[in-house]
Amino acid sequence: MTKLPDLEAWAIFAKVAETGSFAKAAADLALSQPTISKAITRLEKRLRTTLFHRTSRKMSLTASGLASLERASRILSEGEAVEAEVTEQSKTLRGTIRIAAPMSFGVAHLAPALPPFMQQHPEVMLDLHLSDELTDVVAQGYDLALRIADLPDSSLLARRLCTVRLLLVGSPAYFEQHGHPKHPSDLATHRALRYANARSGDAWRFRHKKKGDFSQAVPSALRVNNAEALAPALRAGLGLALQPEFLAWDDLQAGHIQSTLDDWQVAPIALHIVTPPGRAKPARVQAIIDYLAEHFAQAPWAREPAVIPTPASRPARKR
């Protein structure tokens, strides 16, 4: 006769993996630490394998633990979701929502968007993590993450919120000294202020409705791993940068910087919300997803640019 799966132990395992310690898991689940320890021991004995590497200083998942984490997290989230429905948590949202987002976007746009949601749902606690490093939503236990990119194929569930244009910008003083480029090839004599995490490398790629594609390498004057750090050098007239419109918007409106080569487009990126696969989202998580989708749809920089097809008869030129 097949034994019933130890669902409680699997849920405890998922919480221990999420929090990184038995003590934190015990606090989150309102259980004693010995209860947490016994559940993990019981599970490892049943599986005849070790799920955690344990030392006096830290704990990490074994290969077996990593392989089990996604499904165990699903057991925990499904249990939380069904209890939320039964107790009608959808009417009074409560609990923690863990969110990851890029640093510049998080500081400038996500954080200011949160207070109205917090005021409407005072029993929800938001745990916001800001970093330009790519976070592992599943392994690090996030409920959702904001990504600004062309998303590669993955098992994550993605909701596209809006297009984000990339603009070539510089200060009025820079253009007064160096002039506006007329064609992307002119950028060979300009200076680039470069975002290190951009996928384009040292070449900037443009597309024109009639003239097709063009790729141009631009000498670098500054390279940073956070695009917001380019702003002082941009305003000081020390180079040109490809900036997402949400980051350049205020300086453009104030006249501190100007866009150039406006008849050439850089392939736009998009703002997405991504969530772990296969999970029934708690009502609080779905609520903030819907709130953020509505909020960012109204942003002045959230607009759809004209789509410029690649002419079949004109291959991209490179320098």
Euclidean distance between CA atoms 167 and 176, whole angstroms: 19
User: What per-residue confidence (pLDDT) applies to 313?
Assistant: 33
Euclidean distance between CA atoms 258 and 311, whole angstroms: 29
pLDDT in tens, 270-314: 889 999 887 667 888 999 999 999 999 888 887 654 333 333 333
User: What per-residue confidence (pLDDT) applies to 87?
Assistant: 62
Euclidean distance between CA atoms 175 and 169, whole angstroms: 10
pLDDT in tens, 185-208: 999 999 999 988 776 667 899 999
166-267 and 7-86 share a CATH fold? no
Domain 7-86 -> CATH class: mainly alpha
CATH code for the structural domain at 95-163+269-297? 3.40.190.10
Pick the CATH number of 166-267 from 3.90.1200.10, 2.170.150.70, 3.40.718.10, 3.40.190.10: 3.40.190.10
Nearest alpha-carbon partner for 193 in 170, 164, 166 = 170
DSSP H or E stretch at residue 183: none
pLDDT bin (cut points 50, 70, 90) of residue 184 is very high
pLDDT in tens, 69-117: 999 988 888 888 777 766 655 556 888 999 999 988 999 899 999 999 9
Domains of the chain by residue range: 7-86, 95-163+269-297, 166-267
Cα 34 to Cα 54, 233, 298: the distances in Å are 16, 56, 50
* Model confidence pTM above 0.75: no
Euclidean distance between CA atoms 33 and 23, whole angstroms: 6
Euclidean distance between CA atoms 316 and 133, whole angstroms: 31
Structure tokens at 109: 């746009």
Cα 198 to Cα 225, 234, 306: the distances in Å are 9, 17, 22
